[in-house]
Amino acid sequence: MIKSKAVQCATKCFAKRAMDILILFCFAPIWVPVSLVILLGVVIEQLISGDFGPPIISEIRISKGRKFRLFKLNMYKESARKKYILESERYATMGTYAFLGQDTNSLRLVGRVMKKYYLDELGQMINILLGQMSFVGPRPRLEAEKVSMNPPRQLLKSGYFCFAANQWKNEEHSDLGFHSDEEYLEIYLNSSTSELLKIDLSIFLDGVKAVIKGKGK
């Protein structure tokens, strides 16, 4: 019985990874040019303003019980980002730029568009390509958050899309009817591989719809 569950888990892991690679390459004609245009916009704005900084930034997050660097396209003015690193207690304790993004004055012009459509998250395509994340899985939580030690985040890779993030991006509305990473873990454990892939595809498409709506704040 234990051996059978181990085989099922390995099969699901392989199937999810295969699906990640397939989506990455099928959607490459979209996410690669969009990422390049954004990065070009960042560089041009830096040249005009003289406010230079890295085009890609990272934060430490948890995926499958391990720490990794989550990549994001840099939507912040470098002067604001440096000040935030030096002065923010939230950054000192949590190591995230999320609170900096609440101040629209900290954003570049291209950064405001990135925030609206969650385009800074395109940096996570690198994490998916490296196998550190999946397109669908628990939300990548901060190391400082106690929730990072919950079973879903110990067993599963963090996801680009998940029930909770999709609902939030959809302003608490979702076609899927699920709300938490714990619910996804139950689905993962109790569904067949084919059922899991169908659910993952539904979560992926629901997430894409949420992003296209452009309700990022």
Query: Residue 192: what pLDDT?
Result: 93
Look up residue 214 and give its amino acid: G
**Of 3, 2, 13, nearest in space to 197 by CA:** 13
Residue range 66-76: average pLDDT?
96
Position 1 pLDDT exceeds 60: no
Cα 138 from Cα 143, distance rounded (Å): 14
Q: How many domains does the chain have?
A: 1
Cα 34 from Cα 48, distance rounded (Å): 21
Cα 120 from Cα 118, distance rounded (Å): 6
Number of neighbours of residue 42 by Cβ within 10 angstroms: 23
pLDDT in tens, 166-216: 887 876 666 666 778 999 999 999 999 999 999 999 999 999 998 998 877
Cα 92 from Cα 113, distance rounded (Å): 27
> What does pLDDT average to over the chain?
91
Query: Residue 117: what pLDDT?
Result: 94
CA 163 to chain centre: 12
pLDDT in tens, 88-110: 999 999 999 989 988 999 999 99
Position 53 pLDDT exceeds 60: yes
**Of 137, 160, 125, 127, nearest in space to 25 by CA:** 125
Q: What percent of the chain has pLDDT over 90?
A: 71
**Cβ(159)–Cβ(134) below 8 Å:** yes
Query: Residue 210: what pLDDT?
Result: 87
Position 61 pLDDT exceeds 90: yes
**Cβ(171)–Cβ(213) below 8 Å:** no
Query: Residue 213: what pLDDT?
Result: 86
Query: Which two structure tokens, joined as six digits, stand for 83?
Result: 């000040």
Query: Residue 129: what pLDDT?
Result: 97
**Of 100, 97, 137, 110, nearest in space to 35 by CA:** 110
Which domain covers residue 170, as residue numbers?
A: 2-213
Q: How far is CA 99 from CA 14, 43, 63, in A?
A: 36, 24, 22
**Cβ(60)–Cβ(132) below 8 Å:** no
